Structure 1
């Protein structure tokens, strides 16, 4: 079963996942604190280290987390129940309080678990943090997936870089996973569809020009071990290809999948996109996504203006 105890190390707005854990305590040496799940009567799977809760519509209950301060100073943390979303690199993250268009989940973890809290933990001490749960009245199938995200907002030492007027400020956070089910008997499969297509850049390819394809998972289920292949052609000639494996999409989420041009400028014209997405060994999710596309804005060589392509 996928994850779910994740350590985050944040640099400015860059999130680096620190790996998967099998014990019930999340620890980060840099963060100087740990978080541990306190056993819940609503736990569906007792073998996992995160909260895997089976609840009923309208149910009222609570979950608790023990926060231990390993440092010699009082810690002032922010604890946020955050719904999972999919990053543009094809991973699931839990660091955003407000997701906007990144999530189409009918319910957000923040609403169900009472919102953000400020937590003060004494030096070399611990504190139990309680999150009240109020389930919505309308039943749902599938999962609501997220995490309890503990952030130390205090900025550590500033690190200089080789870029003028650019520095890095470190902040540290830990995430303790939360998955909520109401119906554990009905299997809900992820369902992918194609969203908008636009021109942009591929950060993973040194900000090369790219075609950004919005991929949507419209179901309350995670898409795991996602394998995406794509081809972009123009006038019958294949120009760009991708073959990306081991992506993961959060339930009810979307992300922009970048097809790099390998630093070549896009020329005006009509392009054809052919994309196939498969999830793990599940033959039930093999989605073929195809569409014609036109770059909306392209730079004309030798001029500073942008030309619209009709």
Structure 2
């Protein structure tokens, strides 16, 4: 009986442990997918440089102007295709991209609060122009300089795209599961820099905010940097480190060089979390930015916090996230130990109940036999005390 009980205990333990292991393994599985494409255009562009051009051999406009000045500029647009097409013309401020280059695709509604005079307020043109097949057309850009003098540089670009391609859907923006948006629009941009004199104010950089975020679906901390001055900051090297608050151990680090910052813009400098999950807590940023052109250095030291809610939401969306397997091993071991302890307690309890039941059955089986034996002994022995004895039988009758 003991062997049968032991086999049952062993079988239950094996099945329970196998089930727990299977559930633990199934918790580690995750998939990912990306996609992108683009199309070329039959358009090309060329800037016709005016007399007030400062950089004579440049392929962009670099103009010195005076307060209240008006001027007409010419931009040539070429159509190399076999049919007539329509070009869309946009004049936008220059923004600083996350990769340290200039971006001209956003209008002035996205500008930084320090940008008081966007290029689109100074330069105007028609939104569309038709160009015959295998031909060219002139885009006229009208400059109106404010009568109030301005400081530094007004910077932006003239962006030319194929409007026919837009109508056909070639410019449709595709948003992938990773959170990365790609526009299929093929655009040409001619930069435009306008200033009233060559003396520029001193450049500056500031940290506006630090937040936990993602880049192409991967966890990263973004440091939002601002250039509040009307100057271009060139050849910038950034070196950023993140530590736990109060610790000197570097958790994550990112260093880049040859970045540019457009005037009066802000941008996100991303520090990868190295495919690790965010953990709620307080952190410290130590960052240095240095411009080889101006010789300026900016040092930043700032605390920030990642909340439990932010960490949970971002980790749930993150792709290629490395799991903290040691944590799972510890939790799994604790769970397995608790499960094993519960199984042992259950088996011991069942075993005790079974033995108790067997003892009761044995006791019930012995009780009737003992009673009969006692009665037999009482019948064959002496009479109990107090019982009346029967008189002895007489051998003959008594004579009267």
TM-score, normalised to structure 2, is 0.62
2:183 is the alignment partner of 1:172: no
Which residue pairs with 1:199 in the alignment?
Answer: 212
3-state SS, counterpart of residue 121 of structure 2: helix
Which digits, 9 at most, give the CA deviation of each residue in 1:71-107, with x for residues without a partner? 1111111111111001122211112223424463211
Which digits, 9 at most, give the CA deviation of each residue in 1:59-81, with x for residues without a partner? 11111111121111111111111
Q: Where do 1:1-310 residues align within 5 Å?
A: 30-102=40-112, 104-114=114-124, 117-153=127-163, 154-155=165-166, 170-184=184-198, 186-203=199-216, 207-234=217-244, 235-236=246-247, 237-283=249-295, 285-296=296-307, 297-300=309-312
1-side partners of 2:303 and 2:111: how far apart? 24
Relative contact order, CA 8 A, sep 6+: which one is greater? 1
Q: Kindly state the Cα deviation for residue 172 of structure 1 after the two structures are TM-superposed.
A: 1.6
Q: Kindly state the Cα deviation for residue 150 of structure 1 after the two structures are TM-superposed.
A: 0.5
Looking at CA atoms only, which structure, 1 or 2, has the larger radius of gyration? Answer: 2
2-side partners of 1:34 and 1:103: how far apart? 34
Q: Kindly state the Cα deviation for residue 116 of structure 1 after the two structures are TM-superposed.
A: 5.3
Kept in 1, the 8 Å contact 2:54–2:62? The answer is: yes
Between 1:34-43 and 1:190-199, the stretch displaced more is: 34-43
Kept in 1, the 8 Å contact 2:200–2:231? The answer is: no
Q: Kindly state the Cα deviation for residue 120 of structure 1 after the two structures are TM-superposed.
A: 0.8
Kept in 2, the 8 Å contact 1:157–1:169? The answer is: no
Q: Note closer, same or farther for the CA distance 1:257–1:136 as it changes in structure 2 (3 Å cut).
A: same
Between 1:220-229 and 1:149-158, the stretch displaced more is: 149-158
2-side partners of 1:197 and 1:167: how far apart? 23
Q: Kindly state the Cα deviation for residue 157 of structure 1 after the two structures are TM-superposed.
A: 8.2
1-side partners of 2:213 and 2:81: how far apart? 44
2-side partners of 1:248 and 1:222: how far apart? 7
2-side partners of 1:280 and 1:300: how far apart? 40
Which digits, 9 at most, give the CA deviation of each residue in 1:104-152, with x for residues without a partner? 3211111211255211111112111111111112211211111111011
Q: Note closer, same or farther for the CA distance 1:141–1:70 as it changes in structure 2 (3 Å cut).
A: same
Q: How many residues align?
A: 270
Q: Which has the larger share of strand?
A: 1
Q: Kindly state the Cα deviation for residue 30 of structure 1 after the two structures are TM-superposed.
A: 2.8
2-side partners of 1:167 and 1:117: how far apart? 25
Kept in 2, the 8 Å contact 1:86–1:250? The answer is: yes
3-state SS, counterpart of residue 282 of structure 1: coil
Q: Kindly state the Cα deviation for residue 51 of structure 1 after the two structures are TM-superposed.
A: 0.8
Which digits, 9 at most, give the CA deviation of each residue in 1:39-74, with x for residues without a partner? 312212212221111111111111111112111111
Q: Kindly state the Cα deviation for residue 232 of structure 1 after the two structures are TM-superposed.
A: 0.8
2-side partners of 1:38 and 1:299: how far apart? 52
Unmatched tracts of structure 2, length 5 or more: 1-35, 317-400
Between 1:150-159 and 1:116-125, the stretch displaced more is: 150-159
State the Cα RMSD in Å.
2.9
Kept in 2, the 8 Å contact 1:85–1:99? The answer is: no
